Amino acid sequence: MSDSTKICIKCKSQLPMTSEYYKVIKQNKCGFSGKCKKCLNEDRQEWRKKQVGYISKEERFSKTLEERFWDKVDVKTENECWEWKASLTLHGGYGQLMNYKNGKRILIKAHQFSYKINKGENSNGLMVCHKCNNSKCCNPNHLYLGTAKDNWNDTTNCGHNYKLPPVRPEKVHCAKINFEIATIIRNSDENGVVLSKKYGISKTMISKIKRGLSWKVSIQ
């Protein structure tokens, strides 16, 4: 433990200046936060209570999972989309609902839960797909069971298929060469064995570079 101590600017407690008691902030002169971790946590809780729509943990879990689900669904007419009003998944933008099982936190997809409570258990292991192609929709009339191929066909037919951004080989953490070296390899008269040893890459990669299958064009 460090011999140095630091006084918290909020509670005035004198505590050891270590990461156990203070948050590490490299920008600060001493390398630690001005407030101790206990005070920082209290400030964070106070800030959260002032936010619009804040519900305490006790209130949140006093309701059943189904009650919490309907609190977050914008229910409209039978034919309209019932959009999820809370957090969404990073991939696909599906609604998600937090629950606890066997002491562990789990995230449930809102549209899948909607299908379960309105149409029954998905015992076949199929995907819950959207007829409306609105990933936030929880209207059971817009949901059906289908295969991964069905789900993909729905997506592509509506022009919503995901397009991955182009990958810059130089930005890949394990890249051993760059475009300049790739150009040298492509124009070199030396054989694959020599070039492989010279630049520390496989003979297969040397072959792909020379044939224009890898490291083709520098992406700006």
* CA pair distance 152, 150, nearest whole angstrom: 5
Query: For residue 165, what pLDDT is reported?
Result: 62
CA distance 139 to 74: 9
CB contact burial 107-139 (16+ within 10 A = b; e otherwise)? ebbbbbbbbeeeeeeeeeeeebbbebebbbbbb
**Are the beta carbons of 37 and 25 closer than 8 angstroms?**
no
Q: Which of 109, 104, 100, 141 is nearest to 127 (CA)?
A: 109
Domain 57-157 = CATH 3.90.75: yes
Name the percent of the chain lying above pLDDT 70.
87
DSSP string, 36-55: EHHHHHHHHHHHHHTSTT--
Per-residue pLDDT at 92: 83
Task: Give the model's pLDDT for residue 14.
Answer: 92
Q: Which residues of the chain register pLDDT less than 50?
A: 1, 219-220
pLDDT score recorded for residue 141: 96
Neighbours of 97 (CB within 10 A): 20
Cα–Cα separations (whole angstroms), residue 1 to 19, 20, 201, 219: 10, 10, 46, 50
Each residue's pLDDT tens digit, 44-64: 888 878 876 666 666 666 788
Task: Tell me the CB-side half-sphere exposure of residue 24, using CA atoms within 13 A.
Answer: 4
Q: Tell me, what's the pLDDT at 1?
A: 46
Check: CB of residue 154 under 8 Å from CB of residue 129. Answer: yes
Residue ranges, comma separated, of all CATH 3.90.75 domains in the chain are 57-157
